[in-house]
Amino acid sequence: MTYSPIHLFDFSIDSDLSNWYIVDDGVMGGRSAGNFLINEEGHGTFFGDVSLENNGGFSSVRYRFEQREVTSYKTCKIRLKGDGKSYQFRVKTDKYDRHSYIYNFETTGQWQTIEVPLHEMIPTYRGRKLNMPDYPKALLEEITIMIANKKAESFKLELDEIILE
């Protein structure tokens, strides 16, 4: 059976960002500050500053949606323009899960398409790998993009589209 790609999000000037939200290390006392908006070109733009003060060190933007069955999909493709820094793409099967499945990627400073092989996403909690199977590719309810490079830095990442294939 052939499955059509799922557009998890296609950014445009008219995009509704109400299900996107920032989670910074402030939840643990840190001082990082991320922002998310639609820029003049219609791209989702995740930007801000990561601070290591008060044991901080991360900023993330999360998107929650109605839980989807994703068993037949192999890859998540993200068209983006980064700043040459490293980021993490994270997924949750259920928004209430404490752990996430992660995939690290590098940006080039140019528009690029990151291909995330779903079967290679590893389970983590607070930066530690968990002793459990990799992403089961059954359900999906939340995606996150995070910067957490263990250094104080400014960042900017533009997003065009996020697709499951």
Predicted confidence band of residue 63 (pLDDT cuts 50, 70, 90): very high
pLDDT in tens, 97-128: 999 999 999 999 999 999 999 999 999 998 89
pTM of the predicted protein model: 0.94
Which residues, including other chains, have CB under 8 Å from residue 40's CB and lie 6 or more apart? none
Cα-based distances in Å from 12 to 114, 141, 155, 160, 163: 19, 22, 21, 8, 15
Cβ atoms 143, 89 nearer than 8 A: yes
In order of their start, the domains of the chain are 6-164 (2.60.120.430)
Averaged pLDDT for residues 68-82:
96
Cβ atoms 35, 46 nearer than 8 A: yes
d(CA 160, CA 147): 18
Cβ atoms 14, 41 nearer than 8 A: no
